[in-house]
A and B are shown apart, each in its own frame.
Chain A
Amino acid sequence: MSDSPIAVEHGPELRHHFASVEQQRDAASLGMWLFLATEIMFFGGMFCAYLIYRMWYFNEFAAGSRSLNLKWGTINTIVLICSSLTVALGVRAAQMGKRKLLVILLILTIVFGLAFLGIKGIEWHEKYEHHHIPGASFDATALEKPPYSNGGIDPSHEQIYFSLYFAMTGLHALHMIIGVGIFAFLLFHAWKGRYTPQYNTPIEIGGLYWHFVDIVWIYLFPLLYLIDRKPLG
Chain B
Amino acid sequence: MATAAITTEREHYLNKEYGIRSWLLTTDHKRIALLYLISITFFFFIGGFFALLIRLELLTPAGDLVQADTYNKLFTMHGMVMIFFFLIPSIPAVLGNFLVPMMIGAKDLAFPRINLLSWYLYIIAGIMMLHCMVTGGVDTGWTFYTPFSTAFTNTKVIEAGLSVFVAGFSSILTGLNFVVTIHRMRAPGMTWSRLPLFIWAHYATSIIQLLGTPVLAVTLVLVVCERVLGLGIFDPNRGGDPLLFQHLFWFYSHPAVYIMILPSMGVVAEIVPCFSRKRIFGYQAVALSSIAIAVFGFLVWAHHMFVAGISLYSAMIFSILSYLVAVPSAIKVFNWTATMYKGSVTFSTPMLYAFGFIGLFTMGGLTGLFLACLGIDVHVTDTYFVVAHFHYIMVGGAVMGYLGGMHFWWPKISGRLYPEWLGKFAALIVFLGFNLTFFPQFILGYLGMPRRYWQYPAEFQVLNVMSTAGSTILAVGYVLPMVYFLWSMRYGKIADENPWGAAGLEWKTASPPPTFNFEETPEVTWEAYNYDQIPAPAEVLIER
Q: Is the CB of A30 within 8 A of B180?
A: yes
Q: Is the CB of A46 within 8 A of B218?
A: yes
- Using Cβ atoms and an 8 Å threshold, which residues of chain A touch B316? none
- Using Cβ atoms and an 8 Å threshold, which residues of chain B touch A46? 218, 222
Q: Is the CB of A26 within 8 A of B184?
A: yes
The contact of B231 among A26, A30, A136, A163, by CB within 8 Å, is A163
C-alpha gap A131/B262 in the complex (Å): 50
A-facing residues in B210-226 (Cβ within 8 Å): 210-215, 217-219, 221-222, 225
Q: Is A35 at the interface (CB under 8 A from chain B)?
A: yes
With A26-B184, A34-B176, A156-B239 in contact, do A134 and B232 touch (Cβ < 8 Å)? yes
Tell me what chain B mostly uses at the interface: helix, strand, loop, or mixed.
helix
- Using Cβ atoms and an 8 Å threshold, which residues of chain A touch B177? 31
C-alpha gap A39/B217 in the complex (Å): 11
How far apart are B38's CB and chain A's nearest CB, in angstroms? 24
C-alpha gap A16/B183 in the complex (Å): 18
The contact of B172 among A15, A23, A38, by CB within 8 Å, is A38
Q: Is B2 at the interface (CB under 8 A from chain A)?
A: no
Q: Is the CB of A27 within 8 A of B185?
A: yes
Q: Is the CB of A156 within 8 A of B516?
A: no
Q: Is the CB of B238 within 8 A of A135?
A: no
Tell me what chain A mostly uses at the interface: helix, strand, loop, or mixed.
helix
On chain B, the number of residues with a Cβ less than 8 Å from chain A's Cβ atoms is 44
C-alpha gap A90/B126 in the complex (Å): 41
Q: Is A159 at the interface (CB under 8 A from chain B)?
A: yes
Q: Is the CB of A45 within 8 A of B219?
A: yes
- Using Cβ atoms and an 8 Å threshold, which residues of chain B touch A15? 112
- Using Cβ atoms and an 8 Å threshold, which residues of chain A touch B241? 52-53
Q: Is A157 at the interface (CB under 8 A from chain B)?
A: yes
Q: Is B230 at the interface (CB under 8 A from chain A)?
A: yes
C-alpha gap A103/B252 in the complex (Å): 42
The contact of B239 among A41, A49, A157, by CB within 8 Å, is A157
Q: Is the CB of A154 within 8 A of B176?
A: no
| B interface footprint on A142-171 (CB within 8 Å = 1, 0 otherwise) | 000000000000101101100110010001
With A31-B180, A154-B239, A156-B232 in contact, do A37 and B244 touch (Cβ < 8 Å)? no
The contact of B225 among A27, A159, A167, by CB within 8 Å, is A167
Q: Is the CB of A16 within 8 A of B107?
A: yes
- Give A158's nearest chain B residue, CB to CB: B239
C-alpha gap A134/B228 in the complex (Å): 12
| A interface footprint on B197-209 (CB within 8 Å = 1, 0 otherwise) | 0000000000000
C-alpha gap A43/B215 in the complex (Å): 8
- Using Cβ atoms and an 8 Å threshold, which residues of chain A touch B380? none
The contact of B215 among A17, A37, A45, A136, by CB within 8 Å, is A45
Other than the given A38-B213, A41-B215, A44-B215, 7 more pairs (CB < 8 A) read: A17-B107, A27-B180, A27-B185, A38-B172, A42-B218, A53-B233, A57-B239
Residues on A lying within 8 angstroms of B by beta carbon are: 15-19, 23, 26-27, 30-31, 34-35, 37-39, 41-46, 48-49, 52-53, 57, 134-136, 154, 156-157, 159-160, 163-164, 167, 171
List 13 A-B residue pairs with CB atoms under 8 Å apart, sorted by A's residue number: A17-B107, A18-B185, A27-B180, A27-B185, A30-B179, A30-B184, A34-B210, A42-B214, A42-B215, A159-B239, A160-B231, A160-B232, A167-B231
